[in-house]
Structure 1
């Protein structure tokens, strides 16, 4: 049997190849098999000024992360999916291809685009490689540790808002109620003002989405991806549907959270009806992501 026969058969399963969207049939296959239905966590703006009476502004005061906390521009989910489907790792950079234009992405390029100061973290390990014991961290953060996950429902309203900033803008995931071990460590480092190589973290998450293709992917930092694509002067067709951002994370986020935490809280009737869906999202338990 020819060593290429099985590959040919697999390609034949996906006959719809769109040359404008994919650099080759393998990228088209990757899109269909892994990225077409992947979740995209769209960054939310963070209204730091409205949070001035909390500890949150102090957490970010010395960090030059303003572009991460204030994402700008339109995001097109089809372009984000094509970006990851066409990308592959090449030495110390990611080779990208979007709508006929090829370009590369590196950690240094991400740092330059986000205008983030170079930091020297205590460890070179990525967060999913670190093995800290979670119990001491939970004592600092609050909340409740179940197995190897931190439940955000029991966090203070301010800490929950910090967790939401992390979940949407810094270490994306779909589940708002349960933080994995690596994300618990990240939140602790954030809260305790430890140095975080956020550009290295972003690049690492990009690489994971490209290398470890699986059925349950969460595609991170779509606003940043669009900025990188724009920097490469990729021409985006007009008329594509734009992803809608959720409301900014703000003082109102804390008010909504207090409505669902035991003890003194505001009355649910005080919350506008159009925010009901937001509250439901905060208190539901969606499918976990790796």
Structure 2
């Protein structure tokens, strides 16, 4: 999950705070707005210009499910009902996604709030809630098993399961390592790292992600709508200190399905690389080459934080927006 919540300039109304990354990113020119309001306040617009406009948009990945028909990954997708989560994701409109986060209502889940489960995007209020995410992905909350906290589960058992060996615990590294996972779990981890608990850093991961992988691999379903909602809310709260925006496909789809307008010159980004058997094989070959031919028992699929899709073939054409998606539901 994103870092622990902390107050930001956005939240306090004290002006902008730039991101922590020293990397210089190209900031696209703002699109022609044709009178469409883009920001709720002048402070948000100033913060967007100085920080938000340079955030990278990390995208969910489509899974070539036919390549994994007898694989743990497909069993998890089937058991959890994540067919739409694994299918071709919505096209990403980066400016729209950045504006969604810049204008995000931070008390969106406060019961007494007048705009509970609503946020503001381009001059209109849209619904954003666990129920909306469930509706978008066609999810149900039946047979959900709560995800345990680190103090509620034996981490030694988790480590032995993920690494597939009895001497996995205590860990020989500060964190769990992707390249030590069993082969089936590596593919599942890539999917989770893009579509469920997204990150640009897949090489090493925390106890929380290890528990999530163990939970899913044991075919225990989570409340994904609530999980994603809390992830996005936390990310919006600490975004000043982050350099990457996640769930860009989902947010683009939810906004457009509720009538948010695109600018005339606004174009979709190319989709993320397809997750298929070839990308997995290419990844392992490249990682082995980078290590001078020293192939570990479980070679990593991704090299590092800044090159997450280096292993993948050319992406497929961008999917069209999901027109006419019915999201007219009652809010809890």
- TM-score category (smaller protein): 0.7 to 0.9
**Secondary structure in 2 aligned to 1:282?**
coil
Q: Is 2:75 the partner of 1:69?
A: no
> Which 10-residue stretch deviates more, 132-141 or 156-165?
132-141
Partner of 2:178: 152
| Conserved 8 A contact 1:161-1:253 | no
Q: Is 2:214 the partner of 1:188?
A: yes
Partner of 1:96: 119
Deviations 1:67-122 (A, max 9, x none): 11114332111111100111112325443222222222111111112110113544
Shift of 1:63: 1.5
Distance 1:119 1:27 in 2: 40
| Conserved 8 A contact 2:117-2:127 | yes
Question: Structure 1, unaligned stretches of length 5 or more?
Answer: 1-6, 268-278
Distance 1:36 1:149 in 2: 32
For 1:134, which of 149, 155, 158 is the aligned residue?
155
Shift of 1:281: 7.9
| Conserved 8 A contact 2:37-2:122 | yes
1:114-263 superposed matches below 5 A: 114-123=137-146, 132-142=153-163, 145=171, 149-259=175-285
Q: Is 2:301 the partner of 1:284?
A: no
Deviations 1:128-148 (A, max 9, x none): x87644332121111774555
Shift of 1:149: 2.1
Partner of 2:22: none
Partner of 2:98: 81
Distance 1:135 1:235 in 2: 50
Shift of 1:180: 1.8
**Secondary structure in 2 aligned to 1:171?**
coil
Distance 2:124 2:130 in 1: 20
**Secondary structure in 1 aligned to 2:125?**
strand
**Closer/same/farther in 2, CA of residues 44 and 124 from structure 1, 3 Å limit:** closer
Distance 2:147 2:214 in 1: 17
Distance 1:236 1:130 in 2: 46
Higher strand fraction (1 or 2) = 1
Instruction: Give the number of aligned pairs.
Output: 261
| Conserved 8 A contact 2:63-2:87 | yes
Shift of 1:285: 4.6
TM-score by structure 2 length?
0.68
Q: Is 2:130 the partner of 1:107?
A: yes
Distance 1:130 1:242 in 2: 43
Deviations 1:238-282 (A, max 9, x none): 3224222232111113312442577xxxx9xxxxxxxxxxx9981
Partner of 1:21: 38
TM-score by structure 1 length?
0.77
Distance 1:79 1:114 in 2: 20
**Secondary structure in 2 aligned to 1:62?**
helix
**Closer/same/farther in 2, CA of residues 50 and 186 from structure 1, 3 Å limit:** same
Please report the RMSD computed on the Cα atoms of aligned residues, expressed in angstroms. Answer: 3.3
Shift of 1:124: 7.0
Shift of 1:199: 0.7
